[in-house]
Amino acid sequence: MEATTPTHRRPAPPRGRGATLNPPVRFETQHAAAFDDGWGTLDALAEAPPPLATTLIRDSSRSAISWNDSPDLGFDRAVNPYRGCEHGCVYCFARPSHAYLGFSPGLDFESKITFKPEIARLLARELQRPGYVVRPIVLGSNTDPYQPVERRLQLTRAVLEVMLRFSHPVAIVSKSAAMLRDLDLLQALAAKRLVRVHLSITTLDPKLARAMEPRAASPARRLQALAALARAGIPVGVLAAPMIPGLNDAELERILAAAASAGARHAGYVLLRLPHELREVFADWLATHRPERARHVLGLIRETRAGKLNEAAFHRRFRGDGAYADLLAQRFAAAARKYGFESRRAELDASRFSPYPDAPPARQLTLAL
């Protein structure tokens, strides 16, 4: 009888996680692969994968501010208290950055979270450096500053306390309603025109959101948070980002309408980007969660990226090219006008910045006769 090689089902992805696999780190030459031990281990994992716990890793970086010179971004500096993000958004453009830490941009990105315990002290020190020129700092440019671990570590709150103390302008991007816990700081900053907030809303469909961004706040909760921020007098906007052709892009107008009703004053959108390992992560997620749409979605993405799954060139990577991308831009512009979004964001006040806020006021000397 001819011997046959047994086939095994691939292990199912852990519940409550976004990515369905852990692709190899692009900088490493050796990669691990699953191997059956003869006891049906792989088949057992396919039936009931074990839960994947989150691991916190101390980050000993000696700086708080990250700088960039990208012409696509409206800011040149950011602060990220965390690297990696437990929200698990499968489309997150920041996933490939985890490879620089030696971790996979797949499941590692959402389960191995680094944190900077000294970030508030480091930030204060950098703001006091001679020659520092004040411009808005962005919180959440890479990973969400209000991901679940913030509830315990409160590093983002510590950063906001530094911003308020120094009267430094700050912009926040998040998918979490947890920022309402810092409403006292946000209101104090808003009173000095030092803060604006953008909430990212990718879909209004709770089932799609649960699959794409499993540990982020639900769409309804984000809209509630947006409304609460607006009522509190905090300038707030919405980011319909990313728009994924053939998956959530049909919701663009509905997202903007809901956000406008909740009090958003500004709006933006970004076309899906798939740099480096994210191509494999997203394609595998589609094959697992939306197999009937996978081929169509990837085909439309290629249509907006000159036949590729990603375009890294400045000025094109956020908007794409071609008829499909142009139509999306036209739809956004029309909806933004219809729902009354402001064409320009309110400027934050950099004139209040003081590098030595705790110094006693200078005394006026008198001339004794």
Res. 7 pLDDT band, cuts 50 70 90: very low
Are 121 and 63 in contact, with CB atoms under 8 Å apart?
Answer: no
Mean of the pLDDT values across residues 319-329?
A: 94
pLDDT of residue 65: 96
Res. 318 pLDDT band, cuts 50 70 90: confident
Tell whether the model's pLDDT for residue 80 goes beyond 60: yes
pLDDT of residue 2: 40
Residues 19 and 13: their CA atoms lie apart, in Å, by 7
Residues 269 and 243: their CA atoms lie apart, in Å, by 7
Residues 110 and 213: their CA atoms lie apart, in Å, by 11
pLDDT of residue 46: 59
| More confident of the two residues 232 and 73 | 232
Least confident of 14-28, 126-140, 156-170, 188-202: 14-28
pLDDT of residue 238: 98
311, exposed or middle or buried, with CB in 10 Å at 0-12, 13-18, 19+? buried
Domain residue spans in the chain? 51-338
Amino acid in the structure at residue 125: R
Residues 338 and 325: their CA atoms lie apart, in Å, by 20
Are 273 and 320 in contact, with CB atoms under 8 Å apart?
Answer: no
Mean of the pLDDT values across residues 82-102?
A: 96
pLDDT of residue 4: 39
The single residue listed with the structure tokens 């994924």 is 244
Amino acid in the structure at residue 225: A
**DSSP character for 361?**
P
CATH for 51-338?
Answer: 3.80.30.30
The bridge status of strand 112-115 relative to strand 82-83 is antiparallel
Mean of the pLDDT values across residues 35-42?
A: 62
What lies within 8 Å, CB to CB, of 152 at 6+ separation is: none
Q: By percentage, how much of the chain surpasses pLDDT 70?
A: 88
What token pair was written down for 220?
């309804």
pLDDT of residue 6: 40
pLDDT of residue 192: 97
Res. 331 pLDDT band, cuts 50 70 90: very high
What lies within 8 Å, CB to CB, of 129 at 6+ separation is: none
Least confident of 28-42, 66-80, 222-236, 350-364: 28-42
CA distances from 303 to 144, 189, 270, 307, 309 (A): 30, 43, 16, 6, 9
Q: What average pLDDT does the chain have? A: 90
Q: Smallest Cα–Cα separation from 66: which of 107, 99, 97, 88?
A: 97
pLDDT of residue 8: 42
Res. 5 pLDDT band, cuts 50 70 90: very low
Tell whether the model's pLDDT for residue 122 goes beyond 90: yes
Tell whether the model's pLDDT for residue 153 goes beyond 50: yes
pLDDT of residue 44: 59
Four-point Cα dihedral 10, 15, 17, 19, nearest 10: 20
Four-point Cα dihedral 53, 38, 23, 212, nearest 10: -50
Are 144 and 200 in contact, with CB atoms under 8 Å apart?
Answer: no
pLDDT of residue 361: 59
The single residue listed with the structure tokens 């607006």 is 230
Tell whether the model's pLDDT for residue 47 goes beyond 70: no
Q: Smallest Cα–Cα separation from 252: which of 206, 217, 213, 203?
A: 203
pLDDT of residue 322: 94
CA distances from 296 to 35, 76, 283 (A): 33, 37, 11
DSSP 262-322: HT--EEEEEE----TTHHHHHHHHHHHH-TTTHHHHHHHHHHHTTTSS----TTTTTT--H
pLDDT digits (tens, 9 = 90+) for 290-317: 999 999 999 999 999 989 998 888 767 7
